[in-house]
Amino acid sequence: MNNIKIGKLGESYAEKFLQTQGYEIINKNFYTRFGEIDLIAINRASHSSQLIFIEVKTRTSDVFGLPQESITYKKRTKMLKTALHFINSSTQNLPRIWRMDALAVKLTKNLKLIEIKHFKNILDGY
């Protein structure tokens, strides 16, 4: 299976994980000229609703490092520009509070889920 298909599978696992945590996915693979955001969700389970922009990184081995290590400063900057574009261009009634998260998905060679790690507020680092 190629990297694109592995990435899509990881996004599918991530989406299911987020839904079990009370997140409502409102957009997938949002593209702009600035970049792309894998998942956009609303967390209504918190004390106040939050809009969350999520980067999903999937790996089947640690040969090239942990999934979360590939979310560089440059990637976070592109995500921020893309997120601001989404907020400014959306006609939806969105929560005013927002953040950017990352999900690191690890799979076996047979593409079975090993673990998902959720990193919140990645603009603050992790």
Residue range 56-66, pLDDT digits in tens: 999 988 777 77
Report the mean per-residue pLDDT for the chain.
89
Pairing of strands 98-107, 50-59: parallel
Is pLDDT at 34 greater than 70 in this prediction? Answer: yes
| Class of the CATH-defined domain 3-124 | alpha beta
Q: 63 versus 25: which is more confidently predicted?
A: 25
pLDDT at 108: 92
Q: Is the pLDDT of residue 99 over 90?
A: yes
Q: Is residue 125 over pLDDT 60?
A: no
